[in-house]
With several copies, the nearest count.
Chain A
Amino acid sequence: MCVVRRLILIMLLSCSPLCLAQGLADRMTIATLPPEYQPHWVWVNDIAYGHVADGQAFLVDADTGRFLATLSAGGFFMKLELPSTRNEIYAAATFYPRVNRGERTDVVTIFDPQTLSPVDEVIIPPRRQTGNPTLAHSALTDEQRFMAIYNMTPAQSVSVVDMQERKFVEEIATPGCALIYPTGIRRFQMLCGDGSLLTVSLNEDGSGAGQVRSKPFFDPWQDPVTEKAVRINNQWLYVSFDGYVYPVDVAGKEPKFLPTWSLLSAEDRAESWRIGGLQHLAVHERRQLLFSLMHKGGIDSHKDPGNYVWVYDLRSKKRINRIKLKGAASAIQVTQDDQPLLLTAFIGNPKLTVYDPDSGERLRTIKQLGSTITGLQTN
């Protein structure tokens, strides 16, 4: 009977894998990812420029170069949310019933980390800000219950989603302020057009509990900080076009502005070294290291790719290493384990390059990763 069933399969009908396994035949299966990810597994985010309705993230093993799985994220994909307390992955995306026309629907999709397939979704107001991806597009608050997504229509606001209950909570108006930088339990801050920070607090149900606007801490017209700040413990490090670091302590209810320091010496400036890229900063928390993607360029080159990664000890605020990259990079990331890897990608060449952050040696290159890599994330 099994032979008959196999013939039926060949006759364009279906056959169960169990049946196939009995004879000289492979058992056809569907792979799943293990419950625990490895520290060197890396997310490679691709907005799919040219087909922005179809953004993707690829999970890649930076040790072996193995391609592990694809996450089909959806339209104007920016970044993943990777909670440590729930076995879930989230991404905000924009959909149209006819790919790029019809009624717009914005959703937060909940993915299963073992299949990278959707298990649920929460519809949010169709107003999320889109464009060149930034990791500050959305964030989970520190207790990981609420996800905040930045909206712009051009009115500026934030959508709050309760990821525990999987329901939309509310849209909070935040005029003049943009993007999401989580700062504590039910709290995040936003960058405002006058160089100040807006701290937004949430009630226990996720609704807005009040906003506090700081004094301006930089001049957005003379030397703006980029949107691509990195967080290390309770500090957000904002870095300006001219290479000044503005550390902001967010342990308390209101931000504390710590002393500014420079990534560049006078000599570096004379040589036109500049920060630049779409994701130009990374940190290693335990080692207290800051990685900055650098290039020589003129003013307004803050989005140009870099060919060096400079490494700073955040305790001494001194540069301790200069890694010359083999080729341009527009995004960098560092794994958070004790044998960290430095990861780089360039939006114009769909590959991931892996470096030893101590020796600067290029360890390997993983090619054919989508079309336009916009960001890198670690678990």
Chain B
Amino acid sequence: MKLVDRWVERSVRGVAQRTSRRHFMSRLGVLLVGGSVLPLLPVARSNESSVADLPDDASLEGTAGDPRSCNYWRHCAIDGAPCSCCGGSQTACPPGTELSAITWIGTCRNPGNGKNYIISYNDCCGKSTCGRCMCFRSEGDKPIYVPQKSNDINWCQGTNSNIYHCTIAAVIGQSADE
């Protein structure tokens, strides 16, 4: 298991790597609907931008632009195996797995343009767990009782199988707090 390496590495990196996402997250509004807490994320309106505006990984220095690295900028809140190491990519599930429709949301800063993006960490499901490139960063992670912000939850829900395989990290919007 590489868990130990990653965790030890994470312990060592310590404070240094954790930028102040918390400060941002705490300013998120919450909306109480029928007893359930749902966040109103400040997602930029989709007609204000296009796919061409997605930040370019190739221009990033070092591993921040490598989707197989735990340091990949979109992995700031992940806890699991990035699908890029498992036969998929940061936006594609590996062959034969199912894409979970629901998930948790993180906010990661792109080091190239300094903007914050909303990242959807959808799980890919139905094959035995991929143990490659295990990555634990958990920036902005909340406990299980705040489900939409919790990476402790297996998000293989509403899928034919709930067996967790790996996690993608897709941009679903730009944060409005710029």
Footprint of B on A, CB under 8 Å? Answer: 2-3, 6-7, 9-15, 17, 20-33, 49-54, 56, 59, 67-72, 75-76, 94, 96, 99-102, 104, 112, 114-117, 129-132, 134, 152-154, 156, 175-179, 190-194, 213, 220-222, 224-227, 272, 295-305, 307, 328, 330, 346-349, 368, 370-372
Whether B7 and A304, one on each chain, are in contact in the complex, defined by CB atoms closer than 8 angstroms, is yes
B132 at interface, CB cutoff 8 A:
yes
Leading 10 A-B pairs by shortest Cβ distance = A23-B46, A348-B4, A14-B101, A193-B37, A298-B15, A117-B96, A115-B96, A298-B18, A24-B49, A131-B154
Whether A192 and B145, one on each chain, are in contact in the complex, defined by CB atoms closer than 8 angstroms, is yes
Whether A30 and B93, one on each chain, are in contact in the complex, defined by CB atoms closer than 8 angstroms, is yes
Among B18, B25, B85, B160, the residue within 8 A (CB) of A301 is B18
Whether B11 and A297, one on each chain, are in contact in the complex, defined by CB atoms closer than 8 angstroms, is yes
Query: Cα distance A307–B128 when bound, in Å?
Result: 32
- List the B side residues contacting A371 at CB < 8 Å: 1
**Which residues of B from 18 to 72 have beta carbons under 8 Å from A?**
18, 20-22, 25-26, 28, 30, 32-41, 43-51, 53-54
Closest chain A residue to B102 by CB distance?
Answer: A12
Cβ of B136 to closest chain A Cβ, rounded Å = 7
Given A20-B172, A31-B94: A53 and B51 interface contact (C-beta under 8 Å): no
Among A114, A177, A300, the residue within 8 A (CB) of B141 is A300
Of A31, A68, A75, A94, chain B has the most CB atoms within 10 Å of the CB of A31
- List the A side residues contacting B95 at CB < 8 Å: 30-33, 68-69, 114-117
Cβ of B170 to closest chain A Cβ, rounded Å = 4
Closest chain A residue to B40 by CB distance?
Answer: A7
B111 at interface, CB cutoff 8 A:
no
Given A6-B173, A96-B163, A221-B28: A368 and B131 interface contact (C-beta under 8 Å): yes
- List the A side residues contacting B8 at CB < 8 Å: 305, 328, 348
Among A30, A153, A299, A330, the residue within 8 A (CB) of B18 is A299
Given A28-B122, A31-B94: A347 and B3 interface contact (C-beta under 8 Å): yes
Whether A24 and B162, one on each chain, are in contact in the complex, defined by CB atoms closer than 8 angstroms, is no
Cβ of A364 to closest chain B Cβ, rounded Å = 15
Whether B163 and A53, one on each chain, are in contact in the complex, defined by CB atoms closer than 8 angstroms, is yes
Closest chain A residue to B150 by CB distance?
Answer: A131
- List the B side residues contacting A305 at CB < 8 Å: 7-8, 11
Whether A6 and B147, one on each chain, are in contact in the complex, defined by CB atoms closer than 8 angstroms, is no
Whether B93 and A193, one on each chain, are in contact in the complex, defined by CB atoms closer than 8 angstroms, is no
Whether B145 and A220, one on each chain, are in contact in the complex, defined by CB atoms closer than 8 angstroms, is yes
Interface size class of B (residues with CB under 8 A): 35 or more
Query: Cα distance A220–B38 when bound, in Å?
Result: 12
Query: Cα distance A281–B168 when bound, in Å?
Result: 32
Whether B91 and A347, one on each chain, are in contact in the complex, defined by CB atoms closer than 8 angstroms, is no
Query: Cα distance A3–B145 when bound, in Å?
Result: 26
Whether A28 and B170, one on each chain, are in contact in the complex, defined by CB atoms closer than 8 angstroms, is yes
Closest chain A residue to B55 by CB distance?
Answer: A24
Query: Cα distance A7–B39 when bound, in Å?
Result: 9
Whether A31 and B88, one on each chain, are in contact in the complex, defined by CB atoms closer than 8 angstroms, is yes
Given A10-B41, A32-B95, A328-B8: A213 and B35 interface contact (C-beta under 8 Å): yes
**Which residues of B from 123 to 145 have beta carbons under 8 Å from A?**
124, 126-133, 136-145
Closest chain A residue to B52 by CB distance?
Answer: A24
B158 at interface, CB cutoff 8 A:
yes
Given A29-B92, A328-B11: A13 and B161 interface contact (C-beta under 8 Å): no
Of B3, B26, B133, chain A has the most CB atoms within 10 Å of the CB of B3
Query: Cα distance A330–B79 when bound, in Å?
Result: 15
Given A6-B173, A26-B170, A346-B4: A178 and B30 interface contact (C-beta under 8 Å): no
Whether B128 and A70, one on each chain, are in contact in the complex, defined by CB atoms closer than 8 angstroms, is yes
- List the A side residues contacting B54 at CB < 8 Å: 24, 26
Whether B160 and A101, one on each chain, are in contact in the complex, defined by CB atoms closer than 8 angstroms, is yes
Whether A49 and B22, one on each chain, are in contact in the complex, defined by CB atoms closer than 8 angstroms, is no
Query: Cα distance A51–B1 when bound, in Å?
Result: 12
B86 at interface, CB cutoff 8 A:
yes
Query: Cα distance A5–B10 when bound, in Å?
Result: 36
Cβ of B101 to closest chain A Cβ, rounded Å = 3
- List the B side residues contacting A26 at CB < 8 Å: 51, 54, 90-91, 170-172
Cβ of B15 to closest chain A Cβ, rounded Å = 4
- List the B side residues contacting A20 at CB < 8 Å: 170, 172
Given A70-B86, A272-B15: A178 and B32 interface contact (C-beta under 8 Å): no
Closest chain B residue to A194 by CB distance?
Answer: B37
Given A24-B171, A30-B92: A298 and B14 interface contact (C-beta under 8 Å): yes
- Besides the known contacts A2-B46, A30-B97, A348-B6, 16 further A-B residue pairs in the complex with CB atoms under 8 A apart: A9-B172, A12-B148, A25-B172, A26-B54, A29-B92, A31-B93, A70-B128, A76-B162, A100-B127, A117-B126, A193-B36, A193-B147, A224-B146, A299-B18, A303-B136, A328-B11
